[in-house]
Amino acid sequence: MEALEIKNVTKKYNNFTLDNVSFSVPQGSIMGLIGENGAGKSTLIKAVLDLVNKDSGEVDIYGKKHDRKAKEIREDVGVVFDSLHYHENLNPSQISQISALTYKNWDEKAFTNYLSAFKLNEKSKIKTMSKGMKMKLGIAIALSHKAKLLILDEPTAGLDPVARDELLDIFLDFMQDETHSILISSHITTDLEKVADYITFIHEGKVLLSKPKDELLYDYRIVRCGESDFVELKEEEGAVWRKHDYQYEVLLPTGKMLESKYTSCEMERPTIDEIMLMYIKGERS
């Protein structure tokens, strides 16, 4: 079953359109949502959460249509934005009291356990917390109302490598249950390169690709070559290229199969960053 299914979601603004976006997050998997700033990642997440009115399209969560009426679905969804949406003077223990009123499934004991696991003090006010601590608090809240689907917008932005590594641990712990799933948007692709099962790449409001991460990392190839090789390489299926002063750079989605055909070229496996850059800056036929 799909944990999250986004079907043809469109949202028009004056200067930006989220354009017919469709992809799904299978149960038990981590989906990384990537794209440059302003590509539509946050707008999409807001549309999924029904925080903005969609012009058209549908969002299904664990098989149920998610809209204004579907309050019970929200118990299953844990949301973490890049900032906490609680008053700065509140402390975790007060948040627990508020959450007990908001969520039917609020588990105070689980919350206390998460706080101690994340080394957060129940009585410290939010305003005294570092960015990493706030992020962990947000995740503790999401996990304590027994969410099955975690939706995180830029959770690792602004965190140091140690805090990011700790977050990955928390995510993978959560994923030990096969019914759990995560949708995580980030422009720090190295984190996603480690743990994501699938990658969806949005650019200018459209889905450019949505694929298993290993396919991108192990089947795609990037070739740096001269004019003579380039003329042939650009004709390959799905080729994207950039012309630099002294060389061409060509991204080949079917690169793994082409290695035996182009033995004179050095084919490298691209990183997610390189793939993103090629699609944004590159040319296509």
* Residues of this chain that bind another protein (CB under 8 A): 28-30, 165, 168-169, 172-173, 175-176, 178, 194-198, 212-214, 217-218, 269
Written as six digits, the tokens of 144 are 């304590």
How many Cβ atoms from other residues are within 10 Å of residue 123's Cβ?
8
Question: In terms of CB distance, is 13 or 218 closer to another protein?
Answer: 218
Full DSSP string of 91-109: -HHHHHHHHHHH-TT--HH
CB 91, CB 123: distance < 8 Å? yes
Smallest distance from another protein to CB 255, Å: 13
Question: In terms of CB distance, is 175 or 208 closer to another protein?
Answer: 175
Smallest distance from another protein to CB 197, Å: 4
Smallest distance from another protein to CB 32, Å: 10
Smallest distance from another protein to CB 257, Å: 15
Question: In terms of CB distance, is 86 or 197 closer to another protein?
Answer: 197
Question: In terms of CB distance, is 49 or 175 closer to another protein?
Answer: 175
Written as six digits, the tokens of 7 are 């079907």
Backbone angles phi, psi at 108, to 5 degrees: -65, -35
Alpha helices in 196-266 (DSSP H): 213-218, 227-233, 255-258
**What's the gap between Cα 85 and its chain centre?**
20
